[in-house]
């Protein structure tokens, strides 16, 4: 009796071991590891790259950002009456939204020009008691408002509120280069010509808060690393990109903070060395040097400046087709360049799992946490499964790796891929609900999807 039981136990054990062995053998045949190569091709992507003027008729395929500045005079020709029709038509807003592009916005109260003019509305000029100075000097001609004037401050708040209600609800405006104050909205005036200086911190704060309330989903950038920029997690922009001395001064402000020369405040600017890890660096090319100098003669120096600044976008002053090589080299060194260096697919009889190693060979992250998905299509191109990848895109910083693991419902996926199924990765824009981020890797990119298996 004991002998029979022993034989029975041994038989059971052998059966279990044999089954486990078969299962392990089956699993070993259902594991695939693939490594990918980083692409060196220059291409544009959403929320990064060149930002051409929104009124421009023709834009190349690599451009997904447009730049729009609006003067107060354009916005509000009569008090409380906003000329949305003219603004939208001039800047082609319906077109850009339909094409899935995003915008950089700057609101401006003073743009020096060749002729005497005002960039604030006539009604505001009268209502504020003509507060400000007319000027004609080194920068050009125009009118510099008195930004300390309570009426101007109050009306500015209402104007920004209206901008937010009309333009800040759908994700089209992704970046705001905080303007409002100074020539070109750059928070400086040529006070050596008798123009009243930029206000102190307490007043400046009243020009900042309305933007945060009106555009809660947009990322705000300031011209200098003010204490308010650090406190509120803003990005920064440099309108002297390509100018070695101007850019170095800007980088010095970011590293060390210091005095704000427009007001004499000793510690108005603060150190923000790592701001780019959570908020964007933008700007445009300087007008002090020619495109030939910046994009050809001194191209390597220009690229180095852009990389050091961790630049995500530049515009609206950008190079044209005459500088194709420089154009591509600068584009390749802006913003994020996300890619997957390795994938590991395991299939069981009931499910599959996909492990991915994410990298970023760019100079900045993708600042918006757009959702990433795995798409599985059958041999006819029909979607079989779509599964969200648990990853915060903004956390994939340059020179770092992030691993994700996703469980899929599709069974025996390894075998199916060998029979014509396809697996791709897509990152979706919430505004359009469409995929459209190209990964910087040598794989098929088609209709917004990056194919790891095809």
Domains by residue range for the chain, with CATH: 30-40+337-453 (2.60.40), 49-332 (3.20.20)
- Best CA proximity match to 182, nearest among 151, 162, 203, 157: 203
Answer whether residue 28 shows pLDDT above 90.
no
This prediction has a pTM of 0.91
Answer whether residue 349 shows pLDDT above 90.
no
CA distance 305 to 328: 16
Answer whether residue 15 shows pLDDT above 60.
no
CA distance 223 to 219: 14
Three-class SS of 259-305? EECCCCEEEEECCCCCHHHCCCEEEEECCCCCHHHHHHHCHHHHHHH
Helix extents (H) in 215-298: 227-232, 244-256, 291-292
Answer whether residue 448 shows pLDDT above 50.
yes
Burial of 206 (0-12, 13-18, 19+ CB in 10 A): middle
Here the tokens at position 173 are: 């405006």
CA distance 85 to 163: 13
* Residue 40 and residue 89 in contact, taking contact as beta carbons nearer than 8 Å: no
pLDDT digits (tens, 9 = 90+) for 384-407: 999 999 999 999 999 999 999 999
Answer whether residue 418 shows pLDDT above 80.
yes
Arithmetic mean of pLDDT, 239-268: 96
Angle (CA) 326 399 233, round 5° = 85
CA distance 148 to 17: 84
pLDDT band for position 11 (cuts 50, 70, 90): low
Q: SS3 for 113?
A: strand
Give the DSSP H/E element, type plus range, for residue 34. strand 31-35
Burial of 208 (0-12, 13-18, 19+ CB in 10 A): buried
């Amino acid at each position: 009796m004991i002998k029979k039981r022993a034989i029975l136990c041994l038989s059971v054990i052998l059966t279990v071991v044999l089954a486990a062995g078969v299962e392990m053998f089956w699993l070993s045949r259902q594991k695939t590891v693939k490594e990918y190569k980083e692409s060196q091709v220059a291409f544009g992507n959403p929320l990064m790259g060149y930002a051409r003027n929104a009124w421009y008729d023709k834009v190349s395929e690599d451009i997904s950002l447009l730049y729009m500045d609006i003067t107060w005079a354009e916005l509000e020709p009569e008090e409380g009456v906003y000329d949305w029709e003219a603004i939208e038509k001039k800047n082609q807003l319906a077109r850009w939204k339909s094409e899935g592009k995003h915008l950089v916005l700057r609101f401006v109260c003073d743009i020096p020009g060749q002729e005497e003019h005002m960039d604030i509305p006539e009604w505001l000029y009268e209502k504020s008691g003509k507060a400000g100075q007319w000027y004609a000097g080194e920068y050009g001609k125009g009118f510099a408002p008195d930004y300390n004037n309570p009426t101007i401050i109050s009306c500015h708040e209402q104007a920004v509120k209206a901008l937010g209600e009309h333009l800040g609800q759908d994700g089209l405006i992704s970046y705001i280069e905080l303007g409002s104050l100074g020539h070109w909205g750059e928070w400086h005036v040529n006070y050596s010509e008798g123009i009243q200086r930029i206000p102190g911190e307490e007043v400046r704060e009243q020009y900042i808060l309305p933007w945060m309330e009106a555009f809660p989903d947009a990322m705000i950038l300031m011209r200098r690393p003010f204490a308010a920029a650090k406190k509120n997690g803003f990005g920064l922009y440099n309108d002297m990109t390509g100018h070695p001395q101007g850019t170095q001064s800007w980088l010095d402000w970011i590293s060390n903070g210091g005095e704000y020369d427009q007001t004499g405040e000793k510690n108005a600017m603060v150190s923000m060395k790592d701001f780019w890890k959570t908020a964007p660096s933008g700007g445009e090319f300087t007008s002090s040097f020619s495109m030939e100098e910046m994009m050809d003669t001194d191209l390597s120096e220009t690229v180095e400046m852009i990389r050091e600044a961790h630049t995500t976008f530049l515009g609206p002053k950008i190079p044209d087709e005459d500088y194709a090589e420089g154009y591509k080299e600068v584009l390749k060194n802006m913003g994020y360049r996300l890619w997957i260096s390795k994938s590991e697919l395991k299939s069981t009889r009931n499910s599959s799992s996909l492990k991915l190693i994410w990298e970023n060979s760019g100079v900045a992250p993708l600042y918006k946490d757009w959702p990433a998905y795995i798409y599985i299509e059958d041999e006819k191109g029909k979607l079989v499964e779509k599964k969200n990848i648990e990853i915060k895109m903004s956390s994939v910083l340059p020179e770092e790796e992030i691993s994700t693991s996703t469980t899929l419902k599709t069974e025996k996926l390894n075998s199916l891929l060998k029979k014509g199924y396809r697996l791709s990765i897509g990152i979706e824009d919430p505004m359009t609900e469409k995929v459209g981020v190209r990964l910087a890797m040598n794989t098929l990119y088609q209709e917004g999807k990056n194919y790891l298996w095809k």
